[in-house]
Amino acid sequence: MSQDIATIRVTRYRPEKDGKPYFQDYKVPYRKDMVVLDALNYIKANLDGTLTYRWSCRMGVCGSCGANVDGVPKLTCASFLHEFKGRTIKVEPLTHFPVIKDLVVNMDDFMHKLVEIKPWIIREKESLPEEGEYRQSAEELERYDQFSSCINCMLCYSACPVYGLNEKFLGPAATALAYRYIEDSRDEGKDVRFPIVHELEGVWECTLVGECSVVCPKGVDPMLAIQKTKILGATNALKSLLMPRGGK
């Protein structure tokens, strides 16, 4: 039985040698159940041990293996080779991030943004464990549930031209996560997060391109989170204007 061969065109960048990135082609034999990440692992194991890329779980959970596959930000572990049959598959590092080596990008900016929005439950006063858990109804959970599925893969940042033009923009995933906590009935940190998401380069920088929600591999809708955060901010501003004493 003849085996199909895929041509993988990978971005190579070796900062100690190369002034700028270039493409290198590899021929990889594949089966129907193989994904782009399998092809990269095949190259690393059999053809070129110097190829560098991130990966971990191989099942769309860790969010490490994101790359631009055929020009679209995707998890390489979820992109099947047979879907590109007959075409050269171009694998490039995620756009808008500085390239450290080959497919590895610098994630520092995203990591700072994640920490900035304080992705944990903030309580004015923590209750003791013996007092029991913070209870929540199914309806309350539904308000933020989808936004808690984010795996921080940064595909949404790679798809966002606003972030590409202005890296100060808080961006899709960080805002979606901020909204996840703002909408969590157990959280009391709205006043802490609001100034962060509503600052100049916060949600108001978003011009509704919407590609962040298209590329999300976990079905999270960051565009929705950003617009909902805008509505919450505008409503709050209006309320404080009309009722300066909080309506008391």
Partner 1 sequence: MSKQKPFPEYRRKLGPGWWLHNSHFTQYMIREWTSFFVAVFSLIYIYELSLFASGAKDSALALMRNPGIIAFNVLALLFTLYHAFTWFYLIGKVQPIKMGKTTSKPWQALLVNIVLLLIIFYAVIQILVLR
**44 contacts 91 by C-beta, under 8 angstroms:** no
State the number of binding residues for partner 1 (CB under 8 A).
27
Closer Cβ to partner 1, 31 or 112, answer by number? 112
User: Going by DSSP bridges, is the β-strand pair 89-92/4-12 parallel, antiparallel, or unpaired?
Assistant: parallel
**220 contacts 149 by C-beta, under 8 angstroms:** yes
For residue 123, the minimal CB distance to partner 1 (Å) is 29
For residue 96, the minimal CB distance to partner 1 (Å) is 7
Q: Which of 20, 125, 135, 245 is close enough to bind partner 1 by CB under 8 A? A: 20
Question: What is the C-alpha to C-alpha distance for residues 153 and 168, in angstroms, rounded to an integer?
Answer: 19
Q: Which of 10, 13, 42, 180 is close enough to bind partner 1 by CB under 8 A? A: 13
For residue 120, the minimal CB distance to partner 1 (Å) is 27
**225 contacts 176 by C-beta, under 8 angstroms:** yes
Interaction of residue 227 with partner 1, rule CB under 8 A: yes
Q: Which of 61, 165, 192, 243 is close enough to bind partner 1 by CB under 8 A? A: 165
Q: Using N-to-C axis directions, what is the helix angle for 190-197 and 222-242, rounded to 10°?
A: 110
Interaction of residue 172 with partner 1, rule CB under 8 A: no
User: What is the per-residue binding string for partner 1 in 88-117, x denoting contact by CB under 8 A?
Assistant: -------xx-xxxx----x-----------
Q: Please give the single-letter amino acid code of residue 94.
A: L
- 224, containing H or E segment: helix 222-242
How far, CA to CA in Å, does 14 sit from each of 11, 40, 50, 170?
Answer: 10, 17, 9, 30
Q: Please give the single-letter amino acid code of residue 168.
A: K
Interaction of residue 137 with partner 1, rule CB under 8 A: no
Q: Which residues bind partner 1 (CB under 8 A)?
A: 13, 15-16, 20-21, 71, 95-96, 98-101, 106, 161, 164-165, 207-211, 214, 223-224, 227-228, 231
